[in-house]
Amino acid sequence: MLRALNVIAFCAVLVIGAPPPAAAAAASANVATVALHRLFRAEWQREMREHPLEASADGFHQYDGSWANESLANLAREHQEDLETLKRLAAIDRSQLDREDRISYDLFRYRYEIRVQGYDLKTYLMPMNELWGIQTLRTLTHTLRLRTLADYRHYIERLRTLMPYMDETIALLRQGVKDGMTEPRVVMQGVRAQIAANIVSRPAASPFYAPFRKMPTLIPAAEQARLRAEAKAAIAQAVTPAYRKLQQYFDHDYLPHCRTSIAAEALPDGKAYYAYMVRKYTTTDLTPHEIHQIGLQRVAEIRAQMQRVFDQIGFKGTYKQFVHYLRTNPRFYYKRPAHLLEAYRAAAMRVNPLLVRYFPIWILPRVPYGVRAIPASLAPDTYPAYSVPPAGDGSVAGYIAVNLYKPQSRPKYDIQVLVCHEGRPGHQLQIPIAMELKGLPEFRRFDYYSSYGEGWALYTESLCGQMGLYDNPYSKFGYLDWQMWRAVRLVVDTGIHSEGWTRAQAVRYFEQNTALSTQNINTEVDRYIAWPGQALSYMIGQMDIFHLRQKAKQALGPKFSIKDFHAAILEHGALPLTILNHMIDRWIRNRQAGKPMRQSLGM
């Protein structure tokens, strides 16, 4: 079903071609290999320097006291360096590389071509919306390593120097207004409250002060007192004034100039912009209209499956009445946020002992993960849950962030499937495994392709069904409702951005086809408006992984092992779907030839 993405059509030669004569090949390959890995190391250091928050979160601490330079001039300079990097890569003879380095070469080229295309379409002029941006930095303390005196001093340095970073962000927004690259007004209204949550009268009440309330005992008490005083001063003198400045600009200048349209295609060069977002997030060349049609078909298929569960429950009424019953019956909801949080944690614990039945022990990640509440100031405008990966060096555990806002809108029957997606065997399995692949270049360990990562997480929702975790008809219906949710996304995202749908039309389609609460539906529709294309990656990726699994089962027969298949999907880190297909084809051939698992993977 999936066709090759044009910019990575090179995958057809991934495993083709005989090696050159041995002696000449060894010398030539060595030159090419050395040059390739020298480029990888240099560019990784540049990426860490240019994106210090990501560097800190990934466990690279050389730039822990810094912010990114987001000035227009610096972004233009980085763009020129990206173009130069592609030239340097093209000068390396790909044919002289070994198989794994060819994959790395192709992924590196794809990574930089996507960056260049994004710059040309001015994606950098929309640096904030209700989902992310400088106003959401209060969650920074959840992902930073704050253990030593040096860690705290670096963090305080960031607080002290926030204003230049804020000025650069405002300059990007201002340029976006001039160029017509603004967010839709409907999804920016909630940003006001997000900004306001960072403006406090007492520094100790600031979310940025949270790490100082309880500090590691290895830091002497006198030093702790000094750090607290310095943090309060930095918040009062730098952080709060910076957010006041943003609030003033946002309320009086930016929000009034936000566009009233919601479609990405309404932007300057909007058709190209949305086509780019679709390619970026699906890693295919499927058109928006093709995806829209796939979504309509999947909605119909899942509706038939839901009807069978509905019949099993024996509800006396129509499907619409059943959905109303689920949305309004108090038995399906917790009254207290604390009880909802406990239920998420219990659901996570149910999965862990079952993993060894579906994954080889050697691939399971060593780093743990937990469950946390989404900050109250962000919860009304964000997802039911999301996954925050661990630090790349294992110094900070990953976690599922769960939304406890209005627990009466968050059904019990959704909890297990949500945990499987965001926790394990979903994101909190796949991402840590990639981070722990020490034999790969750094950019591959930390790269992320949405169609792969979200496709995997959606696939694991079904895997949890195989594990027996949906042990009553309502939890099975919850699982199917989440499958329906992702199928509806294919229809709604393309409907909004390419088919001329209104927001009301998108909400109505959700209401007609899912059991999601009104709160969740409105949040979801606004998410698709704010983040074009990303919602397409889930179902497109899952469908491809299921296709590959069925293909492997048919080809291998009794040799097929679900554990080995999962290892083959995960062992090379995140991949565009086209490359993933070639990797699994190679794995199937090697398994047919009787090669052991690790050799089949090309280890």
Task: Spell out the residues 6+ positions from residue 252 whose beta carbon is closer than 8 angstroms to its own.
Answer: none
Domain assignment present for 559: yes
**Beta strand ranges found along 329-487 (DSSP E):** 369-373, 385-388, 398-402
- Residues 511 and 534 grouped into a single domain: yes
Last residue of a domain, one of 212, 245, 266: 266
Q: Say yes or no: 389 and 479 in one domain.
A: yes
C-alpha–C-alpha distance, residues 160 and 65, integer Å: 10
Q: Quote the pLDDT of residue 312.
A: 85
- pLDDT of 518 reads 85
Query: 10-residue block means of pLDDT along the chain (603 residues)?
Result: 37 38 54 96 96 90 94 98 98 93 95 97 95 88 86 96 98 97 94 94 94 94 97 98 98 96 96 97 96 97 88 82 87 94 95 96 93 87 85 84 92 94 96 92 94 97 95 90 95 97 96 86 93 97 97 96 96 94 94 71 44
Determine, yes or no, domain membership for 10. Answer: no
Secondary structure (3-state) at 364? coil
**Residue 533 and residue 545 share a domain:** no
The residue out of 266, 300, 318 marking a domain boundary is: 266
Please give the pLDDT value at position 19. 45
- DSSP-derived 3-state class of residue 69: coil
- Please, what is the angle between helix 288-313 and helix 270-282, to 10°? 50
Residue 393 domain flag: yes
Tell which residue, 267, 261, 143, has the closest CA to residue 210: 143
Both 209 and 284 in a single domain?
no
Q: Is residue 129 part of a domain?
A: no
* pLDDT score recorded for residue 18: 40
Q: Residue 517 contacts by C-beta under 8 Å, 6 or more apart in sequence?
A: 327, 409, 410, 411
Of the candidates 551, 584, 593, the residue with the CA atom closest to the CA atom of residue 14: 584
Instruction: Determine the pLDDT at residue 601.
Output: 46
Residue 13 CB contacts under 8 Å (≥ 6 apart), including other chains: none
Q: Are 99 and 190 in a shared domain?
A: no
Q: Is residue 133 part of a domain?
A: no
Residues 550 and 528 in one domain: no
Would 369 be classed as within a structural domain?
yes
Cβ count near 110 (within 10 Å): 22
Reported as half-sphere exposure (CB side, CA atoms, 13 A), residue 485 has a value of: 25
Q: Which residues pair with 388 in a beta bridge?
A: 399
Residue 439, pLDDT score: 85
**Domain-ending residue, one of 234, 266, 298:** 266
Instruction: Give residue 29's pLDDT.
Output: 57
Full residue range of the structural domain in which residue 384 is found: 275-539
Residue 184 contacts residue 262 (beta carbons within 8 Å) = yes
Rounded alpha-carbon distances, angstroms, from residue 7 to 101, 110, 542:
18, 7, 22
CA dist 247 → 106, 251, 255, 377 (Å): 43, 6, 10, 15
Q: What sign results for the dihedral spanned by CA atoms 550, 551, 556, 561?
A: negative
Task: Give the rounded distance of the alpha carbon of 217 from its chain centre.
Answer: 35
Same domain assignment for residues 165 and 207: yes
Which pLDDT belongs to residue 109?
97
How many folded domains does the chain comprise? 4
> 218 and 321, same structural domain?
no
Cα separation, 86 vs 63, whole angstroms: 25
Task: Report how many helices (DSSP H) and strands (DSSP E) the chain contains, helices first.
Answer: 26, 3
Judge if 245 and 358 occupy the same domain: no
The pTM of the full predicted model, rounded to 2 decimals, is: 0.88
321 in the same domain as 177: no
Whether residue 136 is contained in a domain is answered as no
Going across the sheet that includes 385-388, the strands are 369-373, 398-402, 385-388
Res 315: pLDDT? 82
Both 25 and 174 in one domain: the answer is no
Residue 308 included in any domain: yes
Q: What is the pLDDT of residue 384?
A: 85
Q: Are residues 288 and 260 in the same domain?
A: no
16 CB-near residues (< 8 Å, 6+ apart): none
**Paired residues of 372 in beta bridges:** 401
